[in-house]
Amino acid sequence: MTAVGNLTHEPVEGDRFTITSEGTGDTWEIVVGLEVHCELATATKLFCGCPNHFGAEPNTNVCPVCLGLPGSLPVLNQNVVELAMRLGRALHCTVEPSVFARKNYFYPDMPKDYQVSQYDQPINVDGWLDLPDGTRVGIERAHIEEDTGKNTHAGGSGRIHGADYSLVDYNRAGVPLVEIVGRPHIRHPEQAKAYIDELRAILLATGASDAKMEEGSLRVDANVSVRRVGDATLGTRCEIKNLNSLRSLGRAIEYEARRQVDLLESGERVHQETRHWDEAAGRTRPGRSKEEAEDYRYFQEPDLVPLEPSAEWVAAVDAALPVLPAERRARLAEAAGVDPTETAVVVAVQRDLDSLALAAIGAGGDGRRVLTHVEHNLAVEGAESLDPAHFAQLVTMEVAGQLTATQAKAVLTDMVATGKAPDAIAAERGFEAMDTSQLEGIIDGIIAESPQEWAEFCGGDDKRRGKLQGFFVGKVMKATKGQADGKAVNAVLEARRAAAG
């Protein structure tokens, strides 16, 4: 990895995850940078015409190039460049002239004994990714490299340590990857998970990758360090590998941060090393000590010429970029008149219901209520085919007091299931707006039945009053079989109390 240059984009701090020591009382914060490898969704491998296909019979997608047989020559796949640039531009990177290098090492996962990667001149540099919480995480680079073959450790324990021998399948050797190197701007395990979620959404939207963590087409390593809050310099970091799910990622970061704080608090040092996450044991363990970059003896790949995408190609990539999640959140938030970091906005985009919500708001539906339904009541199949005009009509009926929140939810469920209009469903279900005088009559009756509670409600302290408010609302709901509007009930109770006082 190249040295981290000056930050060009300052991170906007979201919530920090801090650890306060019981011993010294010092407060520590975590600093995380993520490195993500993702397999590109091409038809063929990076440098040969073998299929890029997960799950084929072992060693059936191989040829002289990806087996490193003498005399074979690599030729770069144009679609790899296209997809890498799409991802890079979606991450606000600059596309630079780039070259390929050989990373030399002896391990049976690469038959050539080197991996072709971009080293000191990567294709995409210096971008950023905005998280839903508003944090901007810098992207140092997003470069192209080839994947390795797959080793299966046999005999012994089945793990690498204690294995008697290994079996190697080269179907994955030479599959195109982009490695996205994030800057250490993450301060919370939840932010790390949100970063991967957001990156995955971008990979899917751009068609660059299918981004399946469980199939290994998206793999995450986390560089974790800690420092006392207020310290400007970064602590010594450890690189955590073997993170197979978002859950593992969050747990591993928290575990590793606590381990480092314990070390530092007891006067020891953190050793820069690679550590492996053990999900079952819930801890990290030291792996192989990291080789010096010079041990890889990087040098330019003599069989490949430089890559210099033209300005026209980059412009064409830009023009074809889809609307990205951050932009979709901004559009929806603006239409609804809310903040783009609101959970309902984030959820609407995640569930691909933002265009429905926008259309409903455009048809006159109240933005806040539309979002509330999307967040809480539309996590159901078929929600995306809801008629936006019907959705707007439902929300308008609710705002006008013709339906309570509970009734509106029931009507919405029927709308998704049947496609009928909300007024028709409300009539079928017998949901009729209770007029105010009817409600007042019911409430007055209840007050008369409970003089003791009413006196306390009128004269008691806030806590007691809050309790009795629940008592009276419950009685009204019981009397009306839940059809009364909670807001209207509270308003009548308040008016009666003011009159009594």
Partner 1 sequence: MSDRLTRDDVAKVAHLARLELTDAELDTYTEQLGAVLDHAADVAALDLADVPPTAHPLPLVNVLRDDVVAACLDREEVLAQAPAVEDGRFRVPAILGEEP
Q: What does 120 bind: partner 1, Zn ion, none (CB cut-off 5 to 8 Å by kind)?
A: none
Q: At what angle do helices 354-362 and 343-350 cross, to 10 degrees?
A: 120
* Cα–Cα distance for residue pair 218/36, rounded to 1 Å: 7
Q: Name the residue nearer to Zn ion (CB basis): 50 or 201.
A: 50
Q: Name the residue nearer to partner 1 (CB basis): 59 or 436.
A: 59
In terms of C-beta density within 10 A (0-12 exposed, 13-18 middle, 19 or more buried), how is residue 285 classed?
exposed
Say how many residues make up the chain. 501
> Residue 275 forms beta bridges with which residues?
240, 286
Q: Name the residue nearer to partner 1 (CB basis): 140 or 169.
A: 169
- Least separation, in Å, of the C-beta of 214 and partner 1? 22
Q: Name the residue nearer to Zn ion (CB basis): 78 or 94.
A: 78
What values do phi and psi take at 184, rounded to 5? -75, 65
Q: Chain-centre distance of CA 410, in angstroms?
A: 30
Q: Pairing state of beta strands 238-243 and 218-228?
A: antiparallel
Binding map of Zn ion across residues 201-240, x = CB under 5 A, - = no contact? ----------------------------------------
Residue 444: C-alpha distances to residues 38, 404, 464, 473, 497 (Å): 66, 21, 20, 12, 11
> Residue 102 forms beta bridges with which residues?
116, 299
Q: What does 163 bind: Zn ion, partner 1, none (CB cut-off 5 to 8 Å by kind)?
A: partner 1
Residue identified by tokens 């909300």 is 422
Q: What does 99 bind: partner 1, Zn ion, none (CB cut-off 5 to 8 Å by kind)?
A: partner 1
* Cα–Cα distance for residue pair 197/268, rounded to 1 Å: 35
DSSP state of 111: T
- Least separation, in Å, of the C-beta of 71 and Zn ion? 14
Q: Name the residue nearer to partner 1 (CB basis): 4 or 43.
A: 43
Q: Name the residue nearer to partner 1 (CB basis): 161 or 481.
A: 161
How does 65-76 read in b/e, with b if 16+ C-beta sit within 10 Å? bbbbeeeeebeb
Site for Zn ion in 282-311 (CB under 5 A): none
Q: Name the residue nearer to Zn ion (CB basis): 66 or 412.
A: 66
- Least separation, in Å, of the C-beta of 60 and Zn ion? 11
Q: What does 374 bind: partner 1, Zn ion, none (CB cut-off 5 to 8 Å by kind)?
A: none
- Least separation, in Å, of the C-beta of 63 and partner 1? 5
User: Which residues lie closer than 8 Å to 223 by C-beta, 6 or more apart?
Assistant: 32, 33, 34, 35, 184, 237, 238, 239, 240
Site for Zn ion in 13-52 (CB under 5 A): 48, 50
* Cα–Cα distance for residue pair 107/483, rounded to 1 Å: 70
Task: Using alpha carbons, select from 116, 89, 99 the residue that is nearest to residue 313.
Answer: 89
- Least separation, in Å, of the C-beta of 81 and Zn ion? 18
Q: Name the residue nearer to partner 1 (CB basis): 117 or 191.
A: 117
DSSP state of 374: H
Q: What does 153 bind: partner 1, Zn ion, none (CB cut-off 5 to 8 Å by kind)?
A: partner 1
Q: What does 431 bind: partner 1, Zn ion, none (CB cut-off 5 to 8 Å by kind)?
A: none
DSSP secondary structure, 214-237, as one string: TTTSEEEEEEEEEEETT--SPPP-
Q: What does 401 bind: partner 1, Zn ion, none (CB cut-off 5 to 8 Å by kind)?
A: none
Binding map of Zn ion across residues 52-71, x = CB under 5 A, - = no contact? -----------x-xx-----
- Least separation, in Å, of the C-beta of 285 and partner 1? 13
Residue identified by tokens 């990539």 is 317
Q: How many residues bind Zn ion (CB under 5 A)?
A: 5
Q: Hey, CA dihedral for 371, 376, 379, 382, is it positive or negative?
A: negative
Q: Name the residue nearer to partner 1 (CB basis): 156 or 470.
A: 156
- Least separation, in Å, of the C-beta of 224 and partner 1? 20
Q: What does 81 bind: partner 1, Zn ion, none (CB cut-off 5 to 8 Å by kind)?
A: partner 1
Q: How many Cβ atoms sit within 10 Å of the Cβ of residue 48?
A: 20
Q: Name the residue nearer to partner 1 (CB basis): 273 or 414.
A: 273
- Which chain residues interact with partner 1 by CB under 8 A? 42-44, 48-51, 57-64, 67, 75-81, 97, 99, 104-109, 115, 121, 148, 152-156, 160-161, 163-170, 287-288, 295, 297, 300, 302, 304-309
Residue 94: C-alpha distances to residues 3, 46, 196, 321, 384 (Å): 18, 22, 21, 15, 36
Q: What does 471 bind: Zn ion, partner 1, none (CB cut-off 5 to 8 Å by kind)?
A: none
- Binding residues for Zn ion (CB under 5 A): 48, 50, 63, 65-66
